[in-house]
Amino acid sequence: MKTRTLPGTSLSVSTVCLGTMTWGEQNSEADAHAQLDYAVAQGVNFIDTAEMYPIPPAAATQGRSEAMLGAWLARQARDRLVIATKVAGPGRRDWIRGGRTDLTAANIGEACDLSLSRLRTDYIDLFQIHWPQRNVPMFGTVEFVPGDEKPGPGIREQVEGMAALIDAGKIRHYGLSNETTWGVCAFREAARAAGVPGPVTVQESYSLVSRRADVDMAEALHRENMSLLAYSPLAAGMLTGKYLRGARPANARHMLFANAGVRYRKPLVQEAVAEFAQLAQRRGLTLPQLALGWVGSRWFVGAALVGATTMAQLAEDIAAAQHVPDPETLADIAAIQERYPNPAG
């Protein structure tokens, strides 16, 4: 398993990060612990969760993924693992923390304490803001609407809240998620102005069919010495090939949950996936090898997050992520991407 040190940190992470969003909904605690044992045996040391998980989110299940991870983590050598979790942003799930979801310093601190308790650990390596406080296009929407703006705590308060947690030894670093390029730069500038640490990562949807990060975000990551954590590198299962030609596999997320991965179900996504599948076949590769190998080849990606509901899926994804695409394959991918530059948004 390849490892990288995330820029601006001392965190040496596996280039595959184990995602946990199915734990507590599609996966039991026994499933979760089996996945963890297997992933660590393969060299994975980076695990990502969130206070909101599992997905789809619900008041009855909120926090289960962290708790399942915590039950396993209590038996491990903590210093050998890099644990990332997230504080939910405002407005989408008002049952989280009794509706205290505005990103004030106090609410960020409360979320951190609750996550620490569920995770059964004294510190979090990477504490991420799951989505922004302010109005931004996210989760597949593409148009900024100024009229949707709402009042709330500013970026300066958020960076100072995170800095207080670093000073208290509760977190080592913090990051952003579902953020814009403007937001990344604004956070870094606010941190500089306040004389406190800035965010070190941004977690975004990134795959062969979701490439919003390739232009402005990539420049910001370079200039600010940050890295991207790529979630949904298989486009919510589309890039496994299991939905090709209209297939409807039993127990797949798109079959179980009507609103799961809507951005990846657009017609152009399906067309692009079919072309990538044909390319993989010509190259003697599986579609996951093509997709995860490409994500791993991108210079600004720190790690690709993979999650699975079965051990067979997890084993395939971890193995596929080790593939290193050759220049000819990368050129063929680029040719397809010229026709389908960012179909999922």
Cβ neighbours of residue 300 under 8 Å, at least 6 residues apart? 213, 218, 221, 222, 227, 228
CB atoms within 10 A of CB 259: 7
Place of tokens 């990846």: 264
Sign of CA dihedral 296, 298, 303, 306: negative
Annotated catalytic residue, options 53, 206, 231, 340: 53
**What's the token pair of residue 221?**
């990551």
| 313: helix, strand or coil | helix
Cβ neighbours of residue 248 under 8 Å, at least 6 residues apart? 254, 255
**Phi and psi dihedrals of 333, rounded to 5?**
-60, -45
Q: What is the largest CA-CA distance in the chain?
A: 55
**What's the token pair of residue 165?**
């947690």
Tell me if residue 53 is catalytic.
yes
Question: Which of 187, 208, 221 lies closest to 304 in space, CA to CA?
Answer: 208
State the catalytic residues: 53
